[in-house]
């Protein structure tokens, strides 16, 4: 068995003598070159099985010589060990970038380690064509070698320039689609990318496919190319199952019908794990030369982390979007943004703000639950809550909570509204209007049918996140909320679906049709409260039969009612009664006119005391 030939690039005579003696004793045939330039020439004459090189040498450094040899087709498989005194991280980096197989710190103490790598590398089966190296060496002289070096340096400068452009691209763009398009455009500097694609597997079994048909191949050829790319992709990722696919073609098909003759698929890896494939094709036979492939591999190796980062950002954005959509069912978007963008201390802060608070409740819901099965009630409630909730949200309201069949909504917090009372009343009118759309087929309704009551109040509330560390709710608290709840309750007493407070009336009286209902003391409150019924319009002005009758009011009836109410407050019982009677003639079913006529009749028999303050005290909630 012939001895293995080892070529040494070493400018230090003393160290070269020590190392060559060690190699001779180990049974190797050796030769020495005093610098990298001479060493390259010796490679073509000595035909070594392995090269040991220093880094710092005159004329041509060790990693420059290594880069040149590793760039040549016939010499690239010769193993190279860098044996040098330079042990800094940057030196190891440049050694690795040049293509060295091994990097060992130069010292007689490390000869055993050197010998270990010598044996390991020489034992590997390497496809080295020494006849081709020798034949090429006959054409190499100093001038040819200098030209090779210049070409190599030009190519490395080109590679560094392209990678620099890639880094600039990544610093300007974050969108995955824009990054891929920029990468495609840079690839055109490296080779003629007539048609290319990149296939990226993402979390959730999502596949992103980007294609650029720069040469304008016909649709049929482009489809054939796509079929090949998909097959190659699944060869690399056989266990990947596509649940969703996103495609983007940056250039449409054209009329080029030339046959594709050259094709390359190059995987992209990050941290040793492949996550994407790049597919490039050309109509020239054997187009992808070693020179082009080297540049492609270097460029795509630098591209991989940039594409991976853009993919991660896209996945994060999609996750945030899905999270926002999911949590929006429980937390208002405004509160969510506040939690994300502010510190925990500021999020926990509360504030006093003027808001409109709305309560809506289903009448006789207890009877409904008693006479209906549980699944039917739940189905009914979900449909009801959906319709009511949509109208509340459409007017800028925030659904604070569901309390059994009752809904509490806030207008003006957390989102500030320019006119919260108007939004609240408009929402309430829509809610009553869409009641007919609620599916009640799964429940048994009481004799009174499907009826709801809405109470709305406007005033200062304390709003903010209330609770403890593990559970908080954004809510509103205070007397304004309590009174709104009471107003919802009095809709039963006054038989009207929407009743609002005097504060609401004052804030929105120019926008809607109101009717004074009463002045009352609700249970738990000493201060009298003015109550107003809200209507959609005068009956005479509406031709749309979709507006519920309960929200329409006769113009003349309202005039008679208001005159009667004014006289009622003046204790003019008999005359007030006449006006209320006139109103009832216009609509015998008008509950408020009948209520006040009944009161007038009672006061004619037994007048109230002299200190009567026209206020009605309600004993029920």
Q: Which CATH class is domain 5-140?
A: alpha beta
Q: What is the pLDDT of residue 271?
A: 79
Q: Count CA within 13 A, CB hemisphere, residue 488.
A: 23
Q: What is the pLDDT of residue 156?
A: 61
* E strand or H helix that includes residue 132: helix 130-137
Architecture of the domain made up of 158-321: 2-Layer Sandwich (3.30)
* E strand or H helix that includes residue 547: none
Please identify every stretch of the chain with a pLDDT value under 70, giving residue numbers as ranges: 1-2, 59, 86-97, 142-164, 171-174, 320, 322-349, 524, 619-621
- Tokens representing 308? 């991976």
pTM for the structure as a whole: 0.54
* E strand or H helix that includes residue 128: none
Helix axes 36-46, 62-71, angle to 10 degrees: 40
Q: How far is CA 91 from CA 80, 104, 240, in A?
A: 15, 11, 40
Smallest Cα–Cα separation from 63: which of 24, 90, 30, 43? 90
* DSSP state, residue 258: P
Q: Count CA within 13 A, CB hemisphere, residue 609.
A: 4
* DSSP state, residue 211: E
Domain boundaries, the chain: 5-140, 158-321, 350-549, 554-621
Smallest Cα–Cα separation from 500: which of 527, 477, 475, 480? 480
Q: What is the pLDDT of residue 615?
A: 85
Q: % helix / strand / coil in the chain, to the nearest 5?
A: 50, 20, 30
Q: What is the pLDDT of residue 43?
A: 93
Provide the residue count of the chain: 621
DSSP 467-520: EETTEEEEEEESHHHHHHHHHHHHHHHHT-SEEEEHHHHHHHTTTSEEEEEEEE
Q: What is the pLDDT of residue 345?
A: 46
Place of tokens 């009286």: 509
Q: What is the pLDDT of residue 286?
A: 87
CATH T-level assignment (fold) for domain 350-549: Alpha-Beta Plaits (3.30.70)
Q: What is the pLDDT of residue 346?
A: 47
| Positive or negative torsion for Cα 602, 607, 609, 611 | positive
């Amino acid at each position: 068995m012939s001895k293995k030939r080892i070529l040494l690039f070493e400018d230090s005579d003393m160290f070269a003598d020590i190392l060559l003696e060690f190699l001779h004793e180990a049974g190797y045939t050796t030769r020495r070159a005093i610098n990298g330039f001479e060493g390259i020439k010796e490679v073509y004459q000595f035909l070594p099985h392995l090269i040991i090189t220093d880094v710092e040498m005159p004329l041509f450094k060790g990693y420059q010589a290594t880069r040149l040899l590793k760039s040549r087709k016939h010499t690239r498989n010769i193993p190279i060990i860098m044996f040098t005194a330079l042990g800094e991280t940057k030196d190891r980096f440049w050694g690795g970038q040049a293509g060295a197989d091994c990097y060992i710190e130069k010292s007689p103490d490390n000869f055993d380690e050197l010998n270990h790598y010598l044996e390991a590398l020489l034992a590997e089966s390497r496809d080295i064509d020494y006849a081709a190296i020798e034949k090429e060496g006959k054409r190499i002289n100093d001038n040819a070698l200098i030209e090779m070096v210049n070409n190599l340096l030009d190519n490395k400068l080109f590679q560094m320039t392209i990678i620099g452009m890639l880094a600039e691209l990544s610093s300007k763009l974050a969108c995955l689609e824009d990054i891929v398009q920029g990468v495609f455009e840079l690839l055109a500097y490296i080779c003629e990318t007539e048609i290319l694609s990149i296939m990226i597997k993402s979390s959730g079994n999502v596949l992103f496919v980007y294609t650029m048909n720069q040469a304008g191949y016909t649709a049929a050829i482009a489809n054939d190319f796509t079929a090949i790319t998909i097959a190659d992709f699944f060869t690399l990722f056989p266990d990947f199952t596509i649940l969703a696919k996103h495609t983007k073609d940056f250039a449409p098909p054209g009329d080029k019908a030339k046959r594709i003759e050259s094709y390359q698929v190059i995987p992209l890896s990050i941290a040793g794990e492949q996550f994407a494939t790049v597919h490039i094709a050309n109509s020239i036979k054997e187009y992808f030369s070693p020179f082009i492939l080297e540049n492609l591999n270097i460029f795509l190796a630098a591209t991989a982390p940039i594409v991976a980062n853009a993919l991660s950002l896209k996945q994060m954005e999609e996750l945030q979007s899905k999270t926002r959509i999911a949590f929006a069912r429980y937390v208002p978007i405004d509160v969510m943004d506040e939690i994300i963008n502010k510190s925990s201390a500021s999020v926990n802060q509360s504030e006093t703000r003027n808001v409109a608070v709305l309560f809506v409740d289903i009448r006789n819901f207890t009877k409904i639950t008693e006479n209906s099965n549980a699944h039917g009630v739940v189905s009914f409630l979900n449909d009801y809550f959906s319709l009511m909730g949509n109208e509340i949200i459409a007017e800028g309201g925030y659904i604070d909570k569901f309390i059994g069949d009752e809904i509490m909504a806030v207008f003006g917090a957390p989102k500030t509204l320019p006119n919260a009372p108007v939004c609240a009343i408009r929402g309430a009118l829509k809610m009553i209007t869409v009641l007919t759309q609620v599916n009640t087929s799964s429940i048994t309704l009481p004799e009174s049918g499907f009826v709801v009551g809405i109470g709305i109040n406007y005033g200062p509330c304390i709003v903010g996140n209330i609770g403890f560390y593990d559970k908080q709710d954004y809510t509103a608290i205070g007397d304004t909320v309590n009174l709104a709840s009471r107003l919802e309750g009095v809709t039963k007493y006054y038989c009207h679906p929407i009743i609002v407070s005097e504060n609401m009336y004052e804030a929105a009286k120019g926008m809607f049709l109101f009717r004074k209902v009463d002045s009352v003391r609700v249970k738990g409150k000493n201060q009298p409260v003015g109550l107003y019924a809200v209507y959609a319009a005068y009956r005479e002005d509406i031709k749309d039969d979709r507006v519920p009758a309960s929200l329409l009011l006769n113009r003349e009836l309202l005039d008679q009612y208001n005159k009667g109410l004014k006289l009622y407050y003046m204790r003019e019982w008999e005359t007030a009664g006449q006006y209320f009677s006139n109103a009832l003639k216009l609509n015998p079913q008008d509950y408020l006119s009948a209520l006040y006529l009944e009161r007038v009749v009672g006061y004619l028999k037994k007048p109230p005391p002299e200190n009567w303050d026209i206020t009605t005290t309600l004993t029920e909630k």
